[in-house]
A and B are shown apart, each in its own frame.
Chain A
Amino acid sequence: MQASTSILSATAIDKIFPGARALDGVDFSLHRGEVHALLGENGAGKSTLVKCLTGAYRRDGGRILLDGADVDPQSTLEAQNLGIGTVYQEVNLLPNLTVAENLFLGRQPKRFGFIDSRDMNRRAKALLAEYDLDIDVTAELAAYSVAVQQVIAIARAVDLSGKVLILDEPTASLDAHEVAMLFRIVRRLKARGLGIIFITHFLEQVYDISDRITVLRNGKLVGTRATADLPRRDLIAMMLGRELVQEVAAEHGAKGEGGEVRFRFRNFGRKGHIQAFDLDVRRGEVVGIAGLLGSGRTETAEILFGAERADSGTAEADGRTLDLSSPRSAIREKFGFCPEDRKVDGIIGDLSVRENIALALQARRGWARPISRSEQDRLADDYIKALDIRTSDREKPIRLLSGGNQQKAILARWLATNPDFLILDEPTRGIDVGAHAEIIRLIEELCGKGMSLIVISSELEELVAYSSRVIVLRDRAHVAELVGNQVTTDGIVEAIAASAGKADA
């Protein structure tokens, strides 16, 4: 409509893969000086569209106008030179080169035919100063945190391209502080007139930073709206194509509070991992754990499950002392643990969905008492059905499943052992909205059956929805416990912030 403000516009983009139409006549336009969120479930076509824009894929139809001129990038390098830069979730820089070398790779300032390191370092320093980043540019990139590397990647992309910046899930491995830092930079670039495409799973961040939202579903455009005019409910409905029944459980008082304390941890901890803490968990209760990345959330989970051995304190269930010295003994005590890093700690990639589901139960029974094949088949089929794990069949290697379905299979692995105490570390990270809702529903169902759950999540709204109590962590210590109507997102943020303030004082 306003051709003058539009920096990039794509019309009727088609992309056909053998056997599938990945993009079907998608329109997309990006204004100068706006942050435009590109959303959709996994497989909706977000990354295909981005790859068509950056030349990683050749489109099969449609036009792309950049600054009013037709462009047809054949490679990401060409797109970069045209002015379209991309920063991916996994930083694609070279960790063994210095920061300055990364910034000027392939275009190092030369003097008498040799690289002029001094000039390069000076320019690198100046470039990063624009991003309020004052670091040693002669140090190796790997010496810095992912967040800093992310900023360096953005600096390089903007310096190289300077018209359009595509951020593909840049915040997935950042904690709240780092996200805030990244967003300050994004706002500054926006003020400079760049068009920014922002892809993420975190809806809170979408509302925080974006001006407009485009939603794709199954390769088709669902719509483009101004963020301010699009309530979250409607956005989710656009993404899912159906009204998601949003049951924000308001009656916290009712949940689990009446039940008797079943698990009692006293002075439980391990030096260097997590400061000793006391924790009571009732039957049928969900205890949420909140805190920034590195605050000791995962360490808490690992020590409860015996993955790291506690060096102080006691654990009891119904008055009986528990042996939590290893995952094996914890499992014998009917504990279960869905780890945060599904790919590294959870799935056995090459084994089938069936074997992945049967694994923990089989390990508990011991090698000499195999679960018969027919029993395994029944077990797998039951859970594939009950949890709606989408797989063509149970013999498919689990690595071929999508993140959400892998997560459900890991959950099934533990449910098959019929646990009394289940620890879920970031159960909804990196999975699409549909699976997200199902996992939350499942958590509520499990505690309804009397299971005790510990759920660690960085999505506060989610924690608030299902937890009856929330433990707040900071600097590897349990610093606050929120109960009853204290359990709100504001309450949690305040608790994290308050304890941080105490540290500064």
Chain B
Amino acid sequence: MSATLKAYAVRLFPQVAALAVILLMVSIAFPGFFRLEMQNGRLYGSLIDILNRGAPVALLAIGMTVVIATKGIDLSVGAVMAICGAVAAAAITSGHSLAMTLLITLGTGILCGLWNGILVAVLDIQPIIATLVLMVAGRGIAQLITEGAILTFNDAGLIFIGSGSLFGLPMPVVIWFAFGVIVALLVRRTALGMLIEALGVNRRAAMLSGVSTGVLLIAAYVLSGLCAALAGIIAAADIRGADANNAGLWLELDAILAVVVGGTSLLGGRFSIAASLIGALIIQSVNTGILLSGFPPEFNLIIKAAIIVLILVIQSPRAQSAFVFLSRARASEKKTAGEAK
């Protein structure tokens, strides 16, 4: 068991280290960064803010990790967020109960995932093209639902999901964390994780070994759709309205980036949901950190890009082998030095 834990620590080390370095850098620029306060039974502070603001990307990253592990990609998640936000707003304003609204919205997300999954698994369309369809069409569908306007609502229950708190934490944080744990347990405590990895590395060999590759592929896209629905509800509840044009805009790219920063290869296979979640936090820390440090906002995107390039360079196989080489050289130096004594 301890060996498994150790393997886990080794796997997550680069992401945790990158996150720690970024947080430290931000705290140097903004001294009050690590301060946490309890007000009205809820924690406040920049760290909490990062966890809260990062919720949509974190949720999307969970589904995206599994899709990428199957050697796929889901470009439609941002648009699915918009659709689901619109569906939630439309359902609650037309008088459905909160439970019914959530059910309809999550169902919509699952349906979107099913569409993607069938295009990929049954019709054998390349994932990037298959999901591009819904990425483009999705925002149009969302606009049809909201009839081109921002559809606002006042239901206290739905708003609670965006800005309420539970166990002293904002609701979005509780949701993404709980959902992440559930999915991680689901794939690692069952054989799903291994079967998905096998499918991602070599679909035909997995199929010939009896893995139900079609069902697994569809399930991965359905999970991604479900994650997008949750993120869409949070985004809509946060602004108390559905904005078909801007909800989830470009977030599919942040989600892919979170997975890549988390060290899961776009070529499929080995994946780690925990690492992707840390990746999402890294991205949000950079966003929040730049704002807090008081840089002129026009620098934001460039600084963000520079930091991400740096992280990716450190993680690249070339840099990794260089590190190994350097540390070995140092070890042998020490050894010869020791022998000389």
Q: Residues of A at under 8 Å CB distance from B?
A: 305, 307, 327-328, 331, 337, 339, 344-351, 355, 358-360, 362-371, 373, 413
Contacts and interface: CB of A to CB of B under 8 A. Distances in A.
Given A360-B210, A367-B195, A347 B205 contact: yes
Given A351-B197, A351-B269, A370-B190, A345 B210 contact: no
Nearest to A371: B191
Given A327-B210, A363-B195, A351 B204 contact: no
Contacts of B190: 367-368, 370
8 contacts: A345-B208, A347-B205, A348-B197, A363-B211, A367-B192, A368-B191, A371-B191, A373-B4
B144 to A, nearest CB: 38
A486 B324 CA distance: 60
Contact of A349 (B194, B202, B207): B202
Interface in B180-226: 189-192, 194-195, 197-198, 201-202, 204-212
Contacts of A351: 194, 197-198, 201, 269
Contacts of B139: none
Interface residues of B, number: 22
B210 A364 contact: yes
Interface of B: 4, 189-192, 194-195, 197-198, 201-202, 204-212, 269-270
A413 B209 contact: yes
A493 B256 CA distance: 57
B interface, by DSSP: helix, strand, loop or mixed?
Answer: helix
B209 to A, nearest CB: 4
A337 B57 CA distance: 43
A345 B205 contact: yes
Nearest to A360: B209
A348 B202 contact: yes
A359 B211 contact: yes
Contacts of A366: 191
Given A327-B207, A362-B195, 17 more contacts: A307-B208, A327-B210, A328-B210, A331-B209, A345-B204, A348-B201, A350-B201, A350-B269, A359-B198, A360-B209, A360-B210, A363-B211, A364-B210, A367-B190, A367-B192, A370-B190, A373-B4
A328 B212 contact: yes
Nearest to A366: B191
Contacts, number: 78
Q: Which 6 residue pairs spanning A and B have beta carbons closest together?
A: A363-B210, A331-B210, A370-B191, A360-B209, A350-B269, A363-B211
A307 B206 CA distance: 12
Contacts of B212: 328, 363
A359 B4 CA distance: 20
A43 to B, nearest CB: 23
B188 to A, nearest CB: 9
A409 B140 CA distance: 51
B204 A362 contact: no
Given A344-B204, A370-B189, A355 B198 contact: yes
A331 B208 CA distance: 9
Contacts of A413: 209
Nearest to A364: B210
A149 to B, nearest CB: 25
Contacts of B207: 327
A348 B210 contact: no
B235 to A, nearest CB: 32
B205 A346 contact: yes
B201 A349 contact: yes
Contacts of B209: 327, 331, 359-360, 363, 413
A336 to B, nearest CB: 9
Contacts of B206: 348, 359, 363
A144 B197 CA distance: 37
A103 B178 CA distance: 64
Q: Tell which of A339, A351, A362 has the most Cβ of chain B within 10 Å.
A: A351
Contacts of B197: 348, 350-351, 355
A368 B215 CA distance: 14
Contacts of A344: 202, 204-205
Given A307-B208, A328-B212, A359-B211, A367 B201 contact: no
B265 to A, nearest CB: 9
A350 B270 CA distance: 8
Nearest to A359: B209
Q: Tell which of B4, B201, B205 has the most Cβ of chain A within 10 Å.
A: B205
A355 B194 contact: yes
Contacts of B202: 344, 347-349
A96 to B, nearest CB: 22
Contacts of B195: 362-363, 367
A368 B189 CA distance: 9
B208 A337 contact: yes
Contacts of B194: 351, 355, 358-359, 362, 370
